[in-house]
C-alpha cells in the first residue's frame, strides 16, 4: 500500500506538503517526561516513530467502533506490514461505553490475546478512548505503558495531555480513575478532517479557555486566524494544537495531581458542568463550557477585573467558532444553581470559581454568591 493512499481523507494534508509543519511539545515530568508530536500525516510515519518504544513488545491498539473503521484497520495493516506484533481491540463509540464493564471486557480480551507485563497499549481515538485505554493500562497487571494517538480536536488539545484517566459511574462522570502518563503522544491533525463540526467546536471551547487563562497573545492569534481555524488550515491547526498542549503541559507539570494551579483549567467548567447536566447532556461539553466562560466572565466585569470590551471579544470569538454564549432561556436556573453547589470543586462549603483578570490571567475566588452569578 502506498503511503499517500491511506489516511488521505483530506486534500489539504497531502504528504508532499506536510513535513515543514510538524512540531513537538515536551512534557517535563522527571523520569516520566514524554513528547507530543504534532503534524498532518503522522499516522503514516507511525511504524518508524514507534520503533523505539515498542521494540520487543507486543502492541495492542485500543479504539472505538467509529475510529476502528476510519483509521484503525489501516493502521493495523500498516504496522503488521512492517513486522510489528500488533492486535486491535475495540468498544462501541460514545460516552456510554466509558464504564467499568468496557474496561473489564477489554482486560479479558487482553488476557486471551496473551498480553503480559511486556505489552504496550495504544489509545487510538477521542477522549473516551484515551481515558479508557489509559486507565486500563494503569491497572492491567499492575500497570503497563501506553501511547496516545488522539483523533479528536478535544483529545489533541486537552484529554491526551495531563495524565488523568478513568471511567464513569452511573452516579457521575470520571468518578473512578488514576493518574498515568503516556510514554508518547502522536497527534495527527490530518485525521480531524473527518470529524463532525460539533466535535471540532467541542475542542475549540477548550482552546479559547487556554487563551483566556494564560496567554493573551494566543487569544489574539485565535481572533486573527478564526477563519483558517474553522477551515482546518494545517499550519494554523498545528500551531493551535501545539500552543494548547504547551499551556496544558505547563500547568500540569507544575501541579500534576491537582493541588492548586491545575484548578485554573476549570475556568468556565463549574457553570459548564451544571448546564451540561441540567440539559440531560443534550448540550455538549464544549458548548456548555463556552456558556460557562461567558457567565463567569460577567462576574469578572462586575468586579472590575475585566472590561466590557474584553467580555465582548470573548463572546465574538466563541460566536465565530459557532459556540453558544448564553444559557438557553427555557433552562431551569434553580436546577443549575443546585448543581453548582454540588460541584466537586466545592471546598469547606464554598464554591470556588476561576475568574480571569482581563484576558490571559486568572484569580481563584470563593466568595461569589449565587445572586452575583446572575444566571
Ligand X SMILES: NC(=O)c1ccc[n+]([C@@H]2O[C@H](COP(=O)([O-])OP(=O)(O)OC[C@H]3O[C@@H](n4cnc5c(N)ncnc54)[C@H](O)[C@@H]3O)[C@@H](O)[C@H]2O)c1
CA 191 to chain centre: 15
Considering the candidates 98, 201, 242, 273, report the single residue annotated as catalytic.
273
Considering the candidates 164, 209, 242, 339, report the single residue annotated as catalytic.
164
| 311 belongs to the binding site for ligand X (CB under 6 A) | no
| 251 belongs to the binding site for ligand X (CB under 6 A) | no
CA 185 to chain centre: 12
Considering the candidates 20, 48, 117, 142, report the single residue annotated as catalytic.
142
Contacts with 310 (C-beta within 8 Å, 6 or more apart), sequence order: 297, 301, 358, 359
| 68 belongs to the binding site for ligand X (CB under 6 A) | no
Q: Identify whether 258 is a catalytic site residue.
A: yes
- Bin 28: left if φ > 0, else alpha if -120 < ψ < 50, else beta: beta
Minimum distance, C-beta of residue 287 to ligand X, in the bound complex (Å): 12
Q: Which of 102, 159, 253, 362 binds ligand X (CB under 6 A)?
A: 159
| 191 belongs to the binding site for ligand X (CB under 6 A) | yes
Which CB sits closer to ligand X, 70 or 240?
A: 70
Considering the candidates 49, 57, 80, 262, report the single residue annotated as catalytic.
262
Distance of alpha carbon 107 from alpha carbon 32, whole angstroms? 24
Stretch of 39-47, 81-89, 92-100, 332-340 lying at the interface with ligand X (CB under 6 A): 92-100
Stretch of 190-198, 209-217, 288-296, 325-333 lying at the interface with ligand X (CB under 6 A): 190-198
Which CB sits closer to ligand X, 354 or 373?
A: 354
| 70 belongs to the binding site for ligand X (CB under 6 A) | yes
Q: Could you list the active site residues?
A: 142, 164, 206, 248, 258, 262, 266, 269, 273, 285
The contact set with ligand X (CB under 6 A) reads 64, 66-67, 70, 93-95, 98, 125-129, 131, 151-152, 154-155, 158-159, 162, 164, 173-174, 191, 194-195, 199, 202
Amino acid at each position: 500500500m502506498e503511503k499517500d493512499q491511506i489516511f488521505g481523507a483530506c486534500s489539504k494534508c497531502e504528504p508532499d506538503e506536510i513535513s515543514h509543519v510538524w512540531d513537538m511539545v515536551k512534557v517535563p515530568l522527571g523520569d516520566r517526561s514524554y513528547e507530543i508530536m504534532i503534524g498532518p500525516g503522522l499516522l503514516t510515519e507511525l511504524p518508524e516513530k514507534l520503533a523505539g518504544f515498542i521494540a520487543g513488545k507486543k502492541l495492542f491498539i485500543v479504539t472505538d467502533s467509529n475510529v476502528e473503521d476510519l483509521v484503525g484497520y489501516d493502521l493495523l495493516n500498516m504496522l503488521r506490514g512492517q513486522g510489528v506484533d500488533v492486535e486491535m481491540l475495540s468498544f462501541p463509540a460514545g460516552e456510554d461505553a466509558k464504564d467499568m464493564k468496557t474496561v473489564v471486557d477489554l482486560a479479558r480480551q487482553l488476557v486471551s490475546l496473551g498480553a503480559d507485563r511486556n505489552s504496550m497499549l495504544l489509545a487510538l481515538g477521542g477522549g473516551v478512548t484515551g481515558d479508557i485505554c489509559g486507565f486500563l493500562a494503569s491497572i492491567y497487571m499492575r500497570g503497563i505503558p501506553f501511547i496516545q494517538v488522539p483523533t479528536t480536536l478535544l483529545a489533541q488539545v486537552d484529554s491526551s495531555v495531563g495524565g488523568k484517566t478513568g471511567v464513569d459511574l452511573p452516579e457521575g462522570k470520571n468518578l473512578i480513575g488514576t493518574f498515568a502518563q503516556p510514554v508518547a503522544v502522536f497527534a495527527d491533525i490530518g485525521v480531524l478532517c473527518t470529524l463532525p463540526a460539533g466535535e471540532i467546536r467541542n475542542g475549540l471551547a477548550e482552546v479559547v479557555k487556554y487563551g483566556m487563562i494564560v496567554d493573551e497573545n494566543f487569544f489574539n492569534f485565535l481572533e486573527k486566524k478564526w477563519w483558517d481555524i474553522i477551515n482546518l488550515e494545517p499550519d494554523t491547526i498545528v500551531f493551535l494544537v501545539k500552543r494548547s498542549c504547551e499551556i496544558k503541559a505547563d500547568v500540569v507539570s507544575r501541579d500534576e495531581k491537582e493541588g492548586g494551579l491545575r484548578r485554573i483549567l476549570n475556568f468556565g467548567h463549574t457553570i459548564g458542568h451544571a448546564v451540561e447536566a441540567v440539559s440531560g447532556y443534550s448540550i455538549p461539553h464544549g458548548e456548555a463550557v463556552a456558556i460557562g466562560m461567558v457567565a463567569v466572565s460577567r462576574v469578572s466585569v462586575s468586579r472590575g477585573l475585566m472590561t466590557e470590551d474584553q467580555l465582548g471579544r470573548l463572546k465574538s470569538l466563541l460566536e465565530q467558532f459557532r459556540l453558544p454564549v448564553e444559557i438557553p432561556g427555557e433552562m431551569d436556573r434553580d436546577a443549575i444553581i443546585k448543581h453548582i453547589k454540588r460541584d466537586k470543586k466545592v471546598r469547606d462549603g464554598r464554591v470556588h470559581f476561576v475568574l480571569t483578570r482581563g484576558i490571559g490571567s486568572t484569580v481563584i475566588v470563593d466568595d461569589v454568591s449565587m445572586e452575583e452569578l446572575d444566571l
